Amino acid sequence: MAKTANSAGTKTKSVRKGKGKLSTPEARREYQRRYYQMHKEKAKEYQRQYNLTHKKKARGGRGKANFVCPREVVRSTFNTSDIMHAPVEKTLKILEKIISGERLFTM
């Protein structure tokens, strides 16, 4: 894109080189803009569903430096490495949760 100057010497709107040709960064920006416009509703719906299933971390205000609020666990499955690498007591708790149906087991 070439910049043009008017009689006052200030820069005005850019003029494209060639007819309808965009540089690579411009073409990428244009593609991303069009893609966003086409899929905006789908993205909003996805974000809404995500916000329903994931809890936000509670924020402590100023002056509450030591306030700790851990996130809720959203996981619903255990896998083989969870069981193999856990201490014996924790393995028993994991197996109890799997048997009672609180959590699922995946291979």
Q: Where are the domains of the chain?
A: 19-70, 75-107
Whether 41 contacts 54, CB under 8 Å: no
Coil, helix or strand at residue 93: helix
Query: Higher pLDDT residue, 72 or 42?
Result: 42
pLDDT tens per residue, range 49-103: 998 888 777 665 565 566 667 777 667 888 888 889 999 999 999 999 999 988 8
Q: What is the pLDDT of residue 64?
A: 59
**Number of Cβ within a 10 Å radius of residue 82:** 16
- C-alpha distance from residue 1 to each of 47, 60, 106 (Å): 37, 48, 55
Q: Is the pLDDT of residue 12 over 50?
A: no
